[in-house]
Amino acid sequence: MDKIYEGMLGDTPFFVTQLQIQHLQVIEQLQHEVYESLHDRSLLQPLSTEEFEYILNGHGLMIGAYVEDELIAFRALLNPPIDEEHLGYDCDIVEAHFHRVLYQEISNVSPKYQGFGLQKTLAKVVMNHIDLASYDYVCSTVKPYNIASLKDKFSQGLVIKGLKIKYVDKLRYIFYKDLQHEQPAFTEKKSVSMGDTEGQQILLKQGFLGTSMYEKHPDWFVVYEK
């Protein structure tokens, strides 16, 4: 396997490689292991075999972290089909450019190797391997109060562009990053409780973007800027 990154998890060496269709079985085994270990299983929407096959057959990018010959983590980017649910509509991307949009998809880390920042490491690796000649935008959805996933998106420079019902009945933040251009300088800043859906939606309609978050016990607040 071609190593695209090498590092240490404490005293344990690991490496990252690009995953292919022949890795499907071990990917699904790891997803099952991670899902079964969760206290709140609503935090993870597992991918189906068909969805994994779609990504691995050329509609995106999936990387995996290995300790020796054991897959311990993976992370995926998806080039999604263009349909009425496409996040490009939520992020004000011109429809003709939807084919240049990638979604940040599932990220799984084995329970045995959590606590080493591996999800963040894989985020940096996968983002650095995006073909900028082919893609301009990265989008993603995250459930409010899914703190680990929200921190993950903000750490990569994604911003909140929307907060709305997606996937029939699920309230989700819509995250967005322009890979070709830096965000302009902001001049206004407001903080809103993560639980204040209407207040956040009003700011988003006014052109504010969610740029970070912080904890003020017992709640979490999102910082909006424009």
Asked whether the predicted pLDDT for residue 43 surpasses 80, the reply is: no
Q: What pLDDT does 168 receive? A: 86
> What is the average per-residue pLDDT within 167-187?
92
Angle at 54 between CA 31 and CA 166, to 5 degrees: 75
Query: How far is the C-alpha of 22 from the C-alpha of 56, rounded, in Å?
Result: 9
E-only strand ranges, the chain: 5-9, 12-18, 60-67, 70-78, 101-109, 137-142, 159-166, 170-178, 189-193, 209-216, 219-225
Q: 39 phi and psi, to 5 degrees? A: -75, -40
Residue with tokens 């057959």: 57
Q: Give, in words, the CATH class of 5-182.
A: alpha beta
Residue 32 host element (H or E)? helix 24-37
The reported pTM is 0.89
Tell me, what DSSP letter sits at residue 185?
Answer: P
Percent residues over pLDDT 90 in the chain: 89
> What is the average per-residue pLDDT within 59-65?
95
Asked whether the predicted pLDDT for residue 42 surpasses 80, the reply is: no
> What is the average per-residue pLDDT within 143-154?
92
Query: Which residue ranges make up each domain of the chain?
Result: 5-182, 183-226
Strand 170-178 and strand 137-142: the pairing is: antiparallel
Q: What pLDDT does 38 receive? A: 85
